[in-house]
Structure 1
Amino acid sequence: QLENGLTREALQKLLPAGAARNAVDSALWDLQARQRQQSLAGLLGVTLAPVFTTAQTVVIGTPEQMAASAAALWEKGATLLKIKLDARLISERMVAIRSAVPEATLIVDANESWRPEGLVARCQLLADLNVAMLEQPLPAQDDAALENFIHPLPICADESCHTRSSLKALTGRYDMINIKLDKTGGLTEALALATEAREQGFGLMLGCMLCTSRAISAALPLMPQVSFADLDGPTWLAVDVEPALRFTTGQLHL
């Protein structure tokens, strides 16, 4: 159907949201931008800064390992750190990290690993350590536990939010959503999701899966709308595509 002039609008109905649709959707956006001899941002009327702050990930380890990793990233220039946590040693890990990087902006990603029991105390611990945001603390199927849950820091939906159809269930439970093109099925739905989410009062984060620079480039028009960006996926690859985006520790350069 691509050879017959498949449109982005038709693509939304042809394929379900996911990585496959994202690949085709991104290619169609890129094709249109090239045909008009514009950048993708220019095509959408978006002005991008030459440098963006992106989170650098601190992976799960012992408290000492995670603190050392955070300190090393801070010394290299990272100011926004995304801390991966499971349900173990939460206090020990976070206290060690905050002691190592007292001035860094920290966001925590629990990746659905927590349970409703103990959530109040854990949120208060993070707030006391000046954590800026908590991402997906509970499994998506346990989201009802967040209904009208009073919490001292913003909670962001990741696995619980894929497309605009997710938003209704998030109201009263989450403060923010993490938009990833591999979840939305491409920039077309991501732009619509961002607009509708903001209209409903949600804050925005822009994230990614493990991916190449090409996937990050497709998401960049969303950057001016988001409070946090976590776009370090290509930095975990042994080999990126060419031409690759230029990353320094904690920054993406255009």
Structure 2
Amino acid sequence: MLTTLTITHESFPIAGSFTISRGAKTAADVLCVRLTQGQHTGCGECVPYARYGESMENVTAAIEAVRSNIEAGADRLAVQTLMPAGAARNAVDCALWDLDAKRGAMPAWRMMGETSAPVELTTAYTISLGEPETMAAQAKAYAHRALLKVKVGTGDDVSRIRAVRAAAPDSALILDANEGWRPETLAAHFAVCVECDVRLIEQPLPQEDDGALATVSRPVPVCADESVHKTDDLASLVDRYDAINIKLDKAGGLTEALLMRARARELGLKVMVGCMVGTSLAMAPAVLLAQGADFVDLDGPLLLAKDREPGLAYRDSLVLPPEPRLWG
């Protein structure tokens, strides 16, 4: 049966703004791929990311370049070879997973090889980068949450880390520097992370400088984000990282992300499942991937002024598995 492919660009306003070391944004601009066969439609969402040279235009072009293959019936394994890792392949891959689930009698989690139904997960909630007093106010407002992810990445984040910890004394903390630290600032930042009981530090150094992490003591586990995209990247990172952040938009979809998860565990790396700022459609397959992960950061819809309908259900610090009518 022939498949019809539709691509749409959609924009979802962010509640306030979302600020990291590379800048701020006020809307989540996403591309949605819909694949229709007869009465069944599968959907996938991606977020083009400028850090990796992606834009709405070139991601759309990458999907258009394989339109004829997809509409002729290319499956997930074929797409792995037709398209490189990245946002474009993610949207197509997740749409194919969803279409297969909707056409058949097997939910996506069973197709993934899982033996038990997905359960609710504790997810981080993100505190944007700002002045220490601003970040402390954000942290205080969300101090009831079990896990906070704190955006840092300036030359001196010591006061920010201490301010957030004082404002949220009972929350577990993850820091995300988004490549904003430098080798010469690591010792001071590691020291305050130990003082403030930080559980994990994401991508402290720029990708091109992260070799320095292999030469220093890491008293707090360090997680690769910008330095890791696909399974083939992992073996070269074990000397400098303790964990990896798997994001579907980097990996190029759930198919590759499942391989990454398995390989990371073989290498003794902890697994974090994260996200770009997107809607529940982007988070849904990641929730299934995150079953059993060491850290979960799937709060994208919570940062939006308005999510898709239907969306994921969030309860306190928990995100619940997606309903089949959303995805999978």
TM-score bracket relative to the smaller structure: over 0.9
So what's the TM-score if we normalise by structure 1?
A: 0.94
Which letter does structure 1 place at the counterpart of 2:146? Answer: T
Counterpart in 1 of 2:74?
Answer: 6
Partners in 1 of 2:125 and 2:214 — Cα distance? Answer: 30
Deviation of residue 49 (structure 1)? 4.7
Counterpart in 1 of 2:6?
Answer: none
1:33·1:39 contact (CA, 8 Å) conserved in 2? yes
Counterpart in 2 of 1:133?
Answer: 200
Q: Deviations over 1:19-50 (max 9, x none)?
A: 11001100111111112223211332433454
Indicate the larger mover: 191-200 or 65-74. Answer: 65-74
Counterpart in 1 of 2:94?
Answer: 26
Q: Deviations over 1:126-177 (max 9, x none)?
A: 0121000000000000011112421101000000000012113212000000
Q: Does 1:74 align with 2:153?
A: no
Q: Deviations over 1:56-106 (max 9, x none)?
A: 01111221111121111123xx11000101224411111111112111100
Aligned counterpart for 2:245 among listed residues 178, 181, 184: 178
1:120·1:151 contact (CA, 8 Å) conserved in 2? no
Q: Where in structure 2 are there 5+ consecutive unaligned residues? A: 1-68, 322-328
Counterpart in 2 of 1:59?
Answer: 128
Q: Residues 92-131 of structure 1 correspond to what in structure 2 (within 5 A)?
A: 92-131=159-198
So what's the TM-score if we normalise by structure 2?
A: 0.74
SS at match of 1:57: strand
Partners in 1 of 2:192 and 2:182 — Cα distance? Answer: 16
Partners in 2 of 1:166 and 1:79 — Cα distance? Answer: 31
SS at match of 2:70: coil
Q: Where in structure 1 are there 5+ consecutive unaligned residues? A: none
Q: Residues 183-194 of structure 1 correspond to what in structure 2 (within 5 A)?
A: 183-194=250-261
Q: Does 1:197 align with 2:264?
A: yes
Counterpart in 1 of 2:288?
Answer: 221
Tell me the C-alpha RMSD between the 2 structures. 1.5
Which letter does structure 1 place at the counterpart of 2:262? Answer: T
> How many aligned positions are there?
252
Partners in 2 of 1:224 and 1:137 — Cα distance? Answer: 26
Q: Deviations over 1:173-205 (max 9, x none)?
A: 000000000000000000001101110111000
Partners in 2 of 1:236 and 1:37 — Cα distance? Answer: 34
The structure whose residues are more often strand, as a share, is 2
